[in-house]
Structure 1
Amino acid sequence: RLVAGVRSLKQKQYGAAQQNINQSVRGPITDLVATLLSGWASYGAGNTQTAISAIDKLAGPEWYPIFKDLHSGMILELANKQKEAGVRFERAYKLDDSALRVSDAYARWLSRNKDAAAATAIYQGFDKKLARHPLVVEGIRETKAGKKLPPLVENPQQGAAEALYGIGASLTRRGGEDLALVYLQLALYLNPNHSLALLSLADLYESVKKPQMAIKVYERVPSNSPLKRNAQIQLATYLDAVDRTDEGIKILNAVVADDPKDVEAIMALGNIQRARKKFADCGETYGKGIEAPTGADKQNWVLYYFRGICFERSKQWAKAETDLKKALEMQPEQPHVLNYLGYSWIDQGVNLDEAMKMIRRAVDQRPDDGYIVDSLGWAYYRIADYENAVKHLERAIDLKPEDPTINDHLGDAYWRVGRTLEAKFQWAHARDLKPEAEELPKIETKLRDGLPEDTSNAAAAEKKKEDGRGG
């Protein structure tokens, strides 16, 4: 009945639309949807007062009023009852000034019925709660230029689409994926270019692990939408997820070329390159983010951290160490940075005391992170405290059983404490878990020959300390 009603609404058959919608399934959510859609059908048939009265009469949960006031305001606005529309928008705004569509609708009304400064103030108030939303950024720019903005919706079809989108998006956040999928699809049937509905639908497909469907939806976002850039960044991420990485990288390169200061796009591009082991490329990409005006902001410590990883993996340790130290300076107790720098020092047999302290601080903050616990176990191994190495590496395996490096480390520790059978089992497991190409021959050698007595890492580490090169 609801779908049949929406189809009639699309075809401007408002009487049939109301009949079907009013006979649709009842319940707290469906009652609200049916009432709002029926209201838009009434307005389409020329009965504005009937529409408003029906919406006003609806009683229900505490989240009803904001939808009722927003849609009454939009209907009154299109019926040219501007003063009454303003009362409704203001009421909805006072109920929740962090609701994007309420803020947008109210600001647009103010730009035409009061002044641009009042409209700008609404957008700026929203921007303080959620910075740099593309629709709000555009609203601030246009109202500051003195533009009178058009209403949020222009006809009954767009109004009904807005109702279906608003409730569908709310359901997505509350775990009602099945119903949300229906409402968002119906919203897009009524208004195919509704960018927010497209993004919500794509996000919903992603949450139910349907990246191919998400890709198709992101591709539909109109090129003139302020949300197109966001859609392109997400689209590239999902293309990478389905092994269409080159297409994703091409899209992100275009976004970055369009705005070389777009740190979010730069980060997305670098992350794909890093995950795909393009370490020379990702070091260069993160560098662009660091050079952007906001690159030095403290929250962008992650750019230095990721570039440090890319430098380390491409055998440029001096540059990597500088970046990791810089990330730690910007975010002093960040556990991942403490772990990466500490682990790297331990692995090289340098700065052992400081590295051990850093890794312990990381473990204190993230006791259930298998990689960080592995670092602590490996640190004990490197200083020849094999009993403690075994203890922490066994805990790391419990947390991350399928990681080849951790299995390899535990094999080494078992061998050193004389548990040679278990050592070979761990090494065999590490071999089968697809380790890095350069590690595979080392693991196979250990499976064949074990660990020779004269390769004590601890002795090498102590030698470096005595030479004055260590911590």
Structure 2
Amino acid sequence: MTLTSSFALFRSNSASAQNNGRMTYHSVIKNRFFKKAFMASALTLVMLGTPLVPAEEAKANSQSLPAASSLSGSYLSGRSALLAQDLAAASNYFTAALQRDPENFYILDRAFVTSLANGNVEKAFPLANQILEEDNEHFLAQLAIAAQRIHEGDYTTPLPDAVTQNVNPLSRLTFALVSAWEKAGQGKTNEAIEDLTSTTGAKWFDLFINFNAGLLAEYNNDPHKAAEFYKAAYEIDRGALRNAISYTRMLAASGRQQEALDIVAEYEQLIPEHPLLVSLREQIESGEVIESVAKTPADGLAEALHGLGIAVSKEGEELSANYLQLAIYLNPGNDSALIGLASLFEQLGDNERAIAYLSEVSESSPMKREAEIQIALHYNILDNLEEARAHLEKLVESDPTDLEAITSLGNVLRGHSLFEEAETSYDQGLSTLNEIQSNHWTLLYFRGITRERQDKWDAAEEDFREALTLKPEQPMILNYLGYSLVDRGLKLDEAQKMIERAVRLRPTDGYIVDSLGWVYYRLGRYEEAVEKLERAVALRPHDPIINDHLGDAYWQVGRKLEARYKWNHARDLEPEPKDLERILDKIENGMEEAVPVVASSADSK
């Protein structure tokens, strides 16, 4: 389980895949803005006359971008920061550019949008007001100011007709939700529900309208009506855990506890031990009062913007971030939005920001421990083994039965080649189980890897085969076990069939295709090896080991110039030091004729 999967409250394709019109930020902005922006942008680019740096270079340099000393420098640095997906730097540079050219509408827009996306909400509000002085139909500026009003308890200032009647579907739905929560704030919640449910639009509107109508009814202390609306959302998309949980909560709140528990049990079969489901089941079984998710209109609008922010994430991180940042502004305790932002910054490659948002998840949240696990994994990505390990060991110490934390600790240690210690973690995880079930195959598989890497082959094979019994069609197990058998000259026919089956199950996995090619190589079937390894390189062109393997196969079939080309390419792809030494030797001296592996005497065992 990951936080992303746990909090994809509407599956990523639930809204956008059904959309009849793309839900992008730029499609929401009126043509009048585009004309202003294009002219300002064109003038700026003419003035600069300098091309932007490539995205890869910008990404590499994003942590050390210099302070710009001119309008052109600030503007180009802002664009480069955006290419590098560095929202903090982009916000700073566009703000600096705006100070040098305060009349430039395009730069004003960029400064506002990047500031909001980066979480500088208070800094973004004055910029939004400046934008609205020139363009009263600016979608995000109107949304930001509306959120500010609701946050401050102003529910009576009307929204402009230009935004409430906008033909863009995302704009129309967004402001229908804003208007509904404004009316709820005026004590007109039933009217708000009527208005919202009469909103027409694309087919995907139905999911959001029913969910948010349920939220309004819940806010209005009407669990029966809330359950009806949540049921409609649940029927539209049962794959979204948020729909199921909301419907179940209101079933319990309206006295239908057994129906609620039946739904929880159904989902626990699909995702065992999910913290949100466990917490909800315990809450229902104890008879605890089910409290409203939205205690204020600001809470309700935060939930609405969070749902939309998750849904539009595939349309671009910037737009998604704007919605999620406003959700956090409206309700700083919205743990779902915090986790959504952490996931978004993870996608942007900003692990420090992901850690910061995950750290804000409340202690009382059922997802707190999962958030802490993810924090440790982000530290691991940052190559801070000490912090990652300490974080996970603290979690395991506080709950020695937490299989998720134990497995994560093992995975971190294994990733740093601390195989003996990793094996100990997996041992601890397996010892917590009364019965090993099919979903525990990963523990056996990972322990098998640590044992294989410590040359404990008999114990490793036992783990792999037990894992395969639990998951007979799992390509990762088939691949690792098959490859290891061939490498040892054991059970060659069985091993080859395992890897061929893994390739059939996952034909576009370059690593598994490489395994099959390398098995053919080890068996002396060099022409077949070349065919498979060329396919693996096509699938994983930037992997040094796969390129190295292909070079070896080329050498054995007499294509020695191509072999050296591949080895040189493998060298340039920054392999591990021990692999680099071997590759450099082949570049210098070539290879001996390979000796095909033959079945050992152990093959008959």
| Shorter-normalised TM range | 0.7 to 0.9
Give the structure 2 partner of residue 335 of structure 1.
475
CA distance in 1, matches of 2:267, 2:478: 36
CA shift for structure 1 position 242:
2.6
Amino acid in the other structure paired with 2:145: A
Cα pair 2:213 2:229 within 8 Å, conserved? no
Give the structure 2 partner of residue 59 of structure 1.
200
CA distance in 1, matches of 2:351, 2:396: 23
Amino acid in the other structure paired with 2:336: L
Cα pair 2:547 2:566 within 8 Å, conserved? yes
* Matching residue within 140, 145, 148 for 1:7: 148
Q: Does structure 1 residue 86 correspond to structure 2 residue 219? A: no
426 and 46 in structure 1: CA distance in 2 versus 1, 3 angstrom threshold: closer
CA shift for structure 1 position 37:
2.4
Give the structure 2 partner of residue 38 of structure 1.
179
Amino acid in the other structure paired with 2:517: G
Cα pair 1:305 1:323 within 8 Å, conserved? yes
Q: Does structure 1 residue 286 correspond to structure 2 residue 426? A: yes
CA distance in 1, matches of 2:383, 2:347: 18
Q: Trace 1:97-176 onto structure 2 (pairs within 5 A).
A: 97=235, 98=238, 100-114=241-255, 116-117=257-258, 119-121=260-262, 123-124=264-265, 127=268, 131-172=272-313, 175=315
The Cα RMSD (Å) is: 3.2
TM-score (norm. length: structure 1): 0.85
CA shift for structure 1 position 20:
6.5
Percentage of matched positions with identical amino acids: 39
Give the structure 2 partner of residue 214 of structure 1.
354
Cα pair 2:155 2:185 within 8 Å, conserved? yes
Amino acid in the other structure paired with 2:393: N
Q: Does structure 1 residue 364 correspond to structure 2 residue 497? A: no
Give the structure 2 partner of residue 469 of structure 1.
602
276-285 vs 50-59, which moves further: 50-59
CA shift for structure 1 position 70:
4.6
Amino acid in the other structure paired with 2:457: W
CA shift for structure 1 position 65:
4.6
CA distance in 2, matches of 1:71, 1:368: 40
Cα pair 1:117 1:143 within 8 Å, conserved? no
Q: Does structure 1 residue 253 correspond to structure 2 residue 393? A: yes
Unaligned runs of 5+ in 1: none
Give the structure 1 partner of residue 27 of structure 2.
none
Cα pair 2:342 2:353 within 8 Å, conserved? yes
Cα pair 1:280 1:314 within 8 Å, conserved? yes
CA shift for structure 1 position 100:
4.6
* Matching residue within 384, 397, 414 for 1:244: 384
CA distance in 1, matches of 2:584, 2:256: 75
Cα pair 1:116 1:147 within 8 Å, conserved? no
295 and 212 in structure 1: CA distance in 2 versus 1, 3 angstrom threshold: farther
280 and 91 in structure 1: CA distance in 2 versus 1, 3 angstrom threshold: same
CA distance in 1, matches of 2:485, 2:217: 68
Amino acid in the other structure paired with 1:339: N
* Matching residue within 393, 396, 407 for 2:547: 407
Q: Trace 1:382-461 onto structure 2 (pairs within 5 A).
A: 382-452=522-592, 457-458=595-596, 461=597
* Matching residue within 458, 464, 489 for 1:324: 464
Cα pair 1:21 1:37 within 8 Å, conserved? no
Cα pair 2:413 2:419 within 8 Å, conserved? yes
Amino acid in the other structure paired with 2:319: L
258 and 422 in structure 1: CA distance in 2 versus 1, 3 angstrom threshold: same
30 and 306 in structure 1: CA distance in 2 versus 1, 3 angstrom threshold: same
Amino acid in the other structure paired with 2:602: R
Cα pair 1:431 1:444 within 8 Å, conserved? yes
Superposed CA offset, 1:111-168 (max 9, x none)? 4543644554454455456554423321210221122222222122212222222222
216 and 24 in structure 1: CA distance in 2 versus 1, 3 angstrom threshold: farther
SS of the residue 2:153 aligns to:
coil
SS of the residue 1:15 aligns to:
coil
CA shift for structure 1 position 25:
7.7
Q: Does structure 1 residue 200 correspond to structure 2 residue 340? A: yes
Cα pair 1:5 1:20 within 8 Å, conserved? no
CA distance in 2, matches of 1:321, 1:391: 29
CA shift for structure 1 position 202:
1.8
* Matching residue within 234, 240, 250 for 1:96: 234
SS of the residue 1:457 aligns to:
coil
Give the structure 2 partner of residue 353 of structure 1.
493
CA distance in 1, matches of 2:495, 2:263: 50
Unaligned runs of 5+ in 2: 1-141
234-243 vs 377-386, which moves further: 377-386
SS of the residue 2:339 aligns to:
helix
Give the structure 2 partner of residue 376 of structure 1.
516
Amino acid in the other structure paired with 1:272: V
SS of the residue 1:469 aligns to:
helix
SS of the residue 1:193 aligns to:
coil
CA shift for structure 1 position 469:
3.5
Amino acid in the other structure paired with 1:328: L
175 and 291 in structure 1: CA distance in 2 versus 1, 3 angstrom threshold: farther
Amino acid in the other structure paired with 1:29: L
Give the structure 1 partner of residue 61 of structure 2.
none
Amino acid in the other structure paired with 1:60: G
CA distance in 1, matches of 2:172, 2:247: 25
CA distance in 1, matches of 2:415, 2:429: 17
CA distance in 1, matches of 2:569, 2:204: 54
Give the structure 2 partner of residue 181 of structure 1.
321
Q: Of the two structures, which has the highest relative contact order with CA contacts closer than 8 Å and spacing of 6 or more?
A: 2
411-420 vs 144-153, which moves further: 411-420
73 and 311 in structure 1: CA distance in 2 versus 1, 3 angstrom threshold: closer
394 and 95 in structure 1: CA distance in 2 versus 1, 3 angstrom threshold: closer
4 and 146 in structure 1: CA distance in 2 versus 1, 3 angstrom threshold: same
161-170 vs 258-267, which moves further: 258-267
CA shift for structure 1 position 306:
1.8
443 and 63 in structure 1: CA distance in 2 versus 1, 3 angstrom threshold: closer
91 and 130 in structure 1: CA distance in 2 versus 1, 3 angstrom threshold: farther
CA shift for structure 1 position 308:
1.5
377 and 107 in structure 1: CA distance in 2 versus 1, 3 angstrom threshold: closer
Superposed CA offset, 1:392-435 (max 9, x none)? 33333333333333333334333334444444444444444444
Cα pair 2:251 2:259 within 8 Å, conserved? yes
158-167 vs 440-449, which moves further: 440-449
Amino acid in the other structure paired with 1:164: L
Cα pair 1:74 1:159 within 8 Å, conserved? yes
121 and 430 in structure 1: CA distance in 2 versus 1, 3 angstrom threshold: closer
CA distance in 2, matches of 1:182, 1:339: 43
204-213 vs 314-323, which moves further: 204-213
270-279 vs 140-149, which moves further: 270-279
